[in-house]
Amino acid sequence: MDPKRAAEAALFSSAEGLRISEIAERTGIPEEELRTAVLDLKREYEDRDSAIMISKVGNRFRMMLRTEYTDFTGKFARAEMPAGVMRTLSTIAYNQPVLQSVLLKTRGPRTYDDVHKLIEMGFVSGKKTGQTLELTTTNKFSEYFGIGSTRKSDIRAWIEAQAKNAPAGEQDGE
């Protein structure tokens, strides 16, 4: 089995980032061969200027669409997350750590359902603080959106860049 093609198939079929060790465990290919294969594959996608890229966040790799091509996805794929939930997620990500009680004042009563869904999806974690939760994004959030970092300043900069690139009418409103 060709390690590069096995890694490509694994990354393509996984909805989440994968560790080299996970791919090795499931394919039986030695980790070192897979590490080389994934890095070669990453370089191949970069060299051919593909709309697809291989992103690394922490020790996980993920195949994903480059940010500049995400406008096309709405024309072909159904949204996995309703717009209101996405706005709640972006508010948490931009202002993190943020108290759920503070979020309630800006997002309204929908906050409770949205936060529950986001925690369930693994994009947000909540730590009990008094009568409320202190909310932050998770590594899964950064991996899923291909931010390339879990630092709050990098996440904020990424959100600002997305807002600048959003088509007119998508920047506000529910």
pLDDT digits (tens, 9 = 90+) for 98-143: 999 999 888 888 889 999 999 988 899 999 999 999 999 998 888 8
How far is it, in rounded angstroms, from Cα 15 to Cα 157?
24
Q: What's phi and psi for 15, nearest 5 deg?
A: -80, -15
Q: Please give the Cα distance from 62 to 143 (Å, whole number).
A: 7
- For domain 3-70, which CATH number applies: 1.10.10.10, 3.30.70.360, 1.10.150.120, 3.40.190.10? 1.10.10.10
Beta carbons within 10 angstroms of residue 167's beta carbon: 8
- What are the structure tokens assigned to 100, written together? 């759920």
Yes or no: is domain 83-165 CATH 3.20.20.140? Answer: no
Residues of each domain in the chain carrying CATH 1.10.10.10: 3-70, 83-165
How far from chain centre, in Å, is Cα 165?
A: 18
Structure confidence at residue 69 (pLDDT)? 76
For 12-64, how does the pLDDT look when each residue is reduced to its tens digit (9 = 90+)?
A: 888 788 999 999 999 999 999 999 999 999 999 999 988 888 988 888 898 88
